[in-house]
Amino acid sequence: MIKYLLSLCIACLAGSCFTGCRDSPARQFQDWQASELASGVRYDSLPGDLYFGMSFEEFRIHCMALHLAGKTSEGGLKSGSWLLAALPDGLAHPAYINYFPTFEGNVITKLEAAIYYADTVAFSEARPFHQDSLLQDVLGLMDEQYGPGFLRIESPVPGRGEVYAKVTGNRRLTVWKDLDPYLVNLWFVNLAPQTAGHEL
């Protein structure tokens, strides 16, 4: 009888662990990603009027036009070699987006970006800055621009910690707090090519 009860407890524990893993946020996200990819729907738009599949030559011409129009410059808090543009609206304070794409096979397949408020020096003890507030501000803007719904999960990338991720068709967007307390990072990935380096 004791052996039977012990076996029953072990079976229950094993079942609970299996159910917990199956229903974990990471597993839910994997299922969501697989479902979106299987839909065959494509979403290629990116910040800065860029898009997945844009060739390097198209990108160069597009950037030149933006520079000449005074809409972008080079520099920014995240990287001095990335593009920098003011976000027209959508956040609680005026803000910048610092971004640059990754090219594979001469076309854009990924885009890294960071968003930060324009006047970080205006924050003080009397008017403190909270990175969590910027994060929620950015998540709201991304919901407006790329569709609602993020899943909060633990990133498999060492040191990245907790991230917010969403998938719409072939486009995955991951958002997380930078080590720099004034920045929130964005990472857009085109899942369709199935290239390496797709970790969250």
Read off the pLDDT of residues 151-177 as tens digits, 9 standing for 90 and up: 999 888 888 889 999 999 999 999 999
Name the helix (H) or strand (E) containing 7: helix 2-22
Retrieve residue 175's tokens.
Answer: 């958002």
Give the whole-angstrom CA distance, residue 32 versus residue 27: 9
Quote the mean pLDDT of the chain: 84
- CA 157 to CA 165: how far, in whole Å? 13
pTM: 0.82
The 10s digit of each residue's pLDDT in 42-96 is 999 999 999 999 999 999 999 999 999 999 999 998 999 999 999 988 898 899 9
